[in-house]
Structure 1
Amino acid sequence: MSTHSPPDRSIWAQREERSNFATLRLMTWISLRLGRPFGRVLLRGIVLYYLLLAPAARRASRAYLARVLGRRVRWRDVYRHIFVFATTIHDRVYLLSERFDLFDIRVQGGELVDAALAAGRGAFLVGGHFGSFEVLRAIGRTRPSLRVAIMMYEENARNVNAALATVNPAVKRDVIALGRPEAMLEAREYLDAGAMIGMLADRTLRQDGGDTLLPLEFLGGRVGFPLGPMRMAAMLGRPVIFLTGVYRGGNRYDVHFEALADFSETPRSERAAQVDAAVARYAHLLEQHCRQAPYNWFNFFDFWRESAPTPSEIPPEHTQRERTRTTGTLDA
């Protein structure tokens, strides 16, 4: 049994969203009344305003872009980065309004979702703070039996969610609020009913930062990726599908579904090793997509510093494996 103590509550979870409910409501109203092109014009001004008044996000964007682009980051690179983020938020207004005619959405790997639906035991759809998760709503239009419950901390985007809820109150949003003991039981109920559980796995599941982190190489740095999401999938014995909704400019999104792991028949004795392997594959896929579509990364804080694992966060079994590999290398 691990005796490591949980680290302090993660900084991203403490940070209040930089948004104003009245402004969001106004932007939503304008977008729906005057159309998407006019809304995009306003969005450019809002992004410029944000860029000037959010130095921490600006610095985080530069640090990330320097890693992924491998060159000197220019001011327009940072502007483009934040604009892509703002655009995906803006597009959620139209996706929630079921204006799917406004979008060119191309799907790869949709057969993985169809297979999971046919099996009737549900699956985990795991993404990251990369691209748009909301485009999944458009995919559901062609798959009436697809139901997705999102596991999230609602308070971290309370204003955005409240404003978007006014767009189409008839749209049912299945949310499993994290931070409660019953969250796991609710997830099992959804899965048993054949639903999917959607979650973002690049940040800890617990707001107190108590998830164990697995240290991995990511975009040239050492990052601790949380084991919690994969451990949950392993405990519930379900397949895991990696999901990204990549914004490609204009009205186009590319949705990718990729097989990540399947814990349906994983023996308890092999669970820890397979969880580690799944997290490593998740980090690899996320890095791959970052390099292919760099401006779709939406972690606007120092991801490497704030995600770096301390010795107490590294699982004992992983530490032992690292020690064994190092010893073996030295002996050779």
Structure 2
Amino acid sequence: MSGEASTAEGTAARGRDSAEPASPRAATHGSSASWAAEPERSNAWALRIMCWIALRCGRRIARGVLYLIALYFVLFAPKARRASARYLGRVFGRPARWRELYAHVFCFAATILDRVYFLREGGAGIRIDVHGHEHVQVCLDAGHGAFLTGAHIGSFEALRAAGRGDPQLNIAMVMYPDNARLINNALAAIAPHIKPDIIALGRPDSMLAIRDRLAVNGLIGLLADRAMPGESARANPVRLPFLGQEAVFSDGPFRLAALLRQRMVFMVGLYTGGAHYEVRFMPLADFTRRAATAQEREQRIHAAIADYVALLESLCREMPYNWFNFHDFWREDGA
């Protein structure tokens, strides 16, 4: 249930001056990301059946089946249930109730189901309200592209559906492609005519591909709420307060934006229930002006990370069931 994951290209750290101060509260090498090691819990047969029901029986009947699927995961996915309980406990300031755990899992399942309709039927009557598009337009008008930075909150497919028909909003996602491969392959089989625009992490030409896309006023999308395993040698995982307890975030996305002197816009596609999504774009950071000193650059990077985490916390409190990190996010299950 970990979902597709992405984070910034760690090789951006090669642009740092070796004399720069380290990021605040740098995490140790031993605190490697746990999400990438989680086994994919999806089942190919079950996914195909679900997709068949979605397309043959319609959204109302398919959502009825989701109630059973969500119940199954709440009962038989103890790691995901424990991660959900910890997260919701921090959001609500008390132990999560069973119905809240169920609502959390059901929200995740609903967004996965709606991906079928976004991919095959253009949304099937699902309403998407867009707020803050002007912040993206400012970047495009400047002619230098931008980083659209998100998290594992809500639905990226809703973001893509909101930009359908506008060639300027074609987003190339920087992704860690191996996690949740089963879900991505199954959905690719549903809509073979759609070729996702992905720049894979960990390849020698990843940085060049990002730079080339920005050079033609392109948009680079990345999800910055998960640190990559082994990333600490190239970027700085940092600990910041998040929902009342320190969590590990990577400065890689922000360091990359600073290196390439780009604006960063926060993006999110929130599922608000029923057949409604709300897409939001919010300004996050502007690295187009070259920093006078290495210290100034580090201060601006750290300020951008802090703003990003504050935005995440605000969204989690506003729409708590949209947070889809069903793994040991706070790294409480041991070293």
Larger RCO (CA under 8 A, 6+ residues apart): 2
- Residue 133 of structure 2 is matched in structure 1 by 110
Instruction: Give the stretch that moved more between structures: 74-83 or 9-18.
Output: 9-18
Q: CA deviation at 1:6?
A: 3.5
Q: CA deviation at 1:101?
A: 4.5
Give yes or no for the alignment of 1:281 onto 2:303. no
Moved over 6 A (4+): 2-5
* Whole-Å separation in 1 of the counterparts to 2:110 and 2:299: 39
Give yes or no for the alignment of 1:304 onto 2:330. yes
Q: Paired residue for 1:86, among 109, 115, 125?
A: 109
* Whole-Å separation in 2 of the counterparts to 1:112 and 1:288: 19
Q: Paired residue for 1:207, among 210, 213, 229?
A: 229
* Whole-Å separation in 2 of the counterparts to 1:110 and 1:156: 30
* Whole-Å separation in 2 of the counterparts to 1:218 and 1:107: 27
Q: CA deviation at 1:117?
A: 2.1
Distance 1:39 1:268, change over 3 A: farther
* Whole-Å separation in 2 of the counterparts to 1:191 and 1:101: 33
Structure 1 counterpart of 2:330, one-letter code = W
Structure 2 counterpart of 1:188, one-letter code = R
CA contact (8 A) 2:118 2:124 kept: no
Structure 2 counterpart of 1:15, one-letter code = E
Give yes or no for the alignment of 1:126 onto 2:152. no
3-state SS of the aligned residue for 2:278? strand
Q: CA deviation at 1:264?
A: 1.0
CA contact (8 A) 1:225 1:307 kept: no
Q: Paired residue for 1:74, among 81, 90, 97?
A: 97
* Whole-Å separation in 2 of the counterparts to 1:26 and 1:229: 37
* Whole-Å separation in 2 of the counterparts to 1:45 and 1:279: 39
* Whole-Å separation in 2 of the counterparts to 1:113 and 1:120: 11
CA contact (8 A) 1:105 1:254 kept: yes
- Residue 222 of structure 1 is matched in structure 2 by 246
Cα deviation 1:27-55 (Å, max 9, x = unaligned): 11221111111111111111111111111
- Residue 232 of structure 1 is matched in structure 2 by 256
Cα deviation 1:179-225 (Å, max 9, x = unaligned): 22321111111111221111110111x33242412221111111222
Distance 1:174 1:74, change over 3 A: same
Higher helix share: 1
Q: Compute the RMSD of aligned alpha carbons.
A: 2.0
Structure 2 counterpart of 1:51, one-letter code = V
Instruction: Give the stretch that moved more between structures: 165-174 or 289-298.
Output: 165-174
Cα deviation 1:121-158 (Å, max 9, x = unaligned): 11111111111111112221252322101111111010
Distance 1:102 1:7, change over 3 A: same
Structure 1 counterpart of 2:96, one-letter code = V
* Whole-Å separation in 2 of the counterparts to 1:279 and 1:74: 32
> TM-score, normalising length from structure 2?
0.87
* Whole-Å separation in 2 of the counterparts to 1:65 and 1:123: 33
* Whole-Å separation in 2 of the counterparts to 1:296 and 1:56: 18
CA contact (8 A) 1:7 1:209 kept: no
Unaligned regions of 5+ residues in structure 1, if any?
Answer: 311-332
Q: CA deviation at 1:100?
A: 2.6
Unaligned regions of 5+ residues in structure 2, if any?
Answer: 1-17
3-state SS of the aligned residue for 1:100? coil
Q: How does 1:1-332 map to 2 (within 5 A)?
A: 1=18, 6-7=29-30, 9-204=32-227, 206-210=228-232, 211-267=235-291, 269=293, 270-305=296-331
* Whole-Å separation in 2 of the counterparts to 1:215 and 1:284: 13
Structure 1 counterpart of 2:222, one-letter code = M
